[in-house]
Amino acid sequence: MTLSVSSPPRTIRIGTRKSQLALVQTQWVQEQLQKLFPDITFEVHSMSTQGDKILDVALAKIGDKGLFTKELEVGMLNREIDFAVHSLKDLPTRLPSGLVLATITERENPADALVVHEKHKDKQIDTLPEGAVIGTSSLRRLAQLRHHFPHFTFKDIRGNLNTRMAKLDAGEYDGIILAVAGLERLGMSDRIHQILPKEISLHAVGQGALGIECRADDSELISLLKGIEHSKTRDRCLAERSFLRELEGGCQVPIGVNTVLDGDNLTLSGIVASVDGENIVKDTVTGLAKDAEQLGIQLAQLLRQQGAQEILDKIFTEIQRGS
Ligand SMILES: NCc1[nH]cc(CCC(=O)O)c1CC(=O)O
């Protein structure tokens, strides 16, 4: 890929959140692009988002209308930055007009991990004692774990990864649930005690992948960004995002997924659960990877026929009431 010789190489400004994870991810993207396009200058501009500032309120109660992405999107529309690097799972399934999801990069293991207090180092999720205090701030993790392990006590946990680890190690929790991907990217793989199998926890839509968003009319940049796209991750994530979009759920609702790509065939599983873990609907569809988005819609419709909408409507009403 070459730039037109008539125009001097441009400087491209990358927007990111300021969190340690966001900075590590953005640096990785910058390095990949710099290798592919050595003549272009890529600059990193970091910004705080609303989600970085509100640390004391349970995420589920503030909703997720672009909590971690809005300031970056405004920056792109104002031309202060050219593209933004997001954890794909934090990027809403509907983008503001004028912006597109240009590229999805190769995903890390998308599963959830159990991290335990050292006194439980010989235990697994199914052998932790009655009443064990499990920290999570995700309704998706909460609902699925409650379904399988109703004898645990669940407690909200917020803050960055280091803060959460410190709270766990101080004995405030017996175990906490975190994304494998975040732990790996921050060099904390040694804290992964158990990777939760998909029978226990279906992961979040887009978990473990990075999504790069830019202005829809910047075709030159879009073609550069395609250089770091991972097509298998893209197919899986487009199916997952289409499923979530069709159910009109954000990342803060108890919706989980799993995808398997086998040659041209894509298998998508999804779950919608009530917050108490008592009602769950779960199903699987298979089709061609090139019809990824269609598959997502098909699965959403299938789950709706099994009562998913009623479960979701109840959650939306409860969140609005602030309960
Ligand atoms: N919403 C927080 C968030 N956004 C992305 C990650 C981890 C990396 C990823 O899932 O891609 C995390 C932390 C977590 O869920 O443990």
CATH fold of 1-106+209-229 reads: D-Maltodextrin-Binding Protein; domain 2 (3.40.190)
Domain with CATH 3.30.160.40 in the chain: 231-323
Nearest to 177 by CA among 186, 191, 121, 271: 191
Neighbouring residues of 257: CB distance < 8 A, sequence distance ≥ 6: 202, 203, 204, 205, 240, 243, 244, 268, 269, 270, 271
Domain with CATH 3.40.190.10 in the chain: 1-106+209-229, 112-195
The pair of three-digit structure tokens given for residue 297, joined into one six-digit string: 């819609």
Distance 45 CA to ligand 1 centre (A): 21
90: annotated active-site residue:
yes
Identity of the amino acid at 160: N
> Which entry of 90, 112, 218, 235 is annotated as an active-site residue?
90
Ligand 1 in contact with 249 (CB < 6 A)?
Answer: no
Write the residue with the smallest CA distance to atom 8 of ligand 1: 182
The pair of three-digit structure tokens given for residue 93, joined into one six-digit string: 């399934």
Location of structure tokens 């909460």:
142
CATH fold of 231-323 reads: Double Stranded RNA Binding Domain (3.30.160)
Ligand 1 atom closest to Cα of residue 185: 8
Distance 8 CA to ligand 1 centre (A): 38
Ligand 1 in contact with 207 (CB < 6 A)?
Answer: yes
CATH fold of 112-195 reads: D-Maltodextrin-Binding Protein; domain 2 (3.40.190)
pTM score over 0.90: yes
Distance 182 CA to ligand 1 centre (A): 6
Q: What is the pLDDT of residue 62?
A: 45
Ligand 1 in contact with 90 (CB < 6 A)?
Answer: yes
Nearest to 68 by CA among 11, 25, 111, 113: 25
Nearest to 281 by CA among 289, 290, 271, 268: 271
* CA separation for the pair 245, 297 (Å, rounded): 8
Complete DSSP assignment for 52-117: HH--SS-HHHH--SSTTTHHHHHHHHTTS-SEEEEEGGGS-SSPPTTEEEEEEPPP----EEEEE-
Ligand 1 atom closest to Cα of residue 59: 1
* CA separation for the pair 105, 33 (Å, rounded): 12
Q: What is the pLDDT of residue 320?
A: 77
pLDDT tens per residue, the chain (323 residues)? Answer: 555 555 667 899 999 999 999 999 999 999 999 999 999 999 999 998 777 766 555 554 444 567 788 899 999 999 999 999 999 999 999 999 999 999 999 999 999 999 999 999 999 999 999 999 999 999 999 999 999 999 999 999 998 899 999 999 999 999 999 999 999 999 999 999 999 999 999 999 999 999 999 999 999 999 999 999 999 999 999 999 999 999 986 657 899 999 999 999 999 999 999 999 999 999 999 999 999 999 999 999 999 999 999 999 998 888 777 75
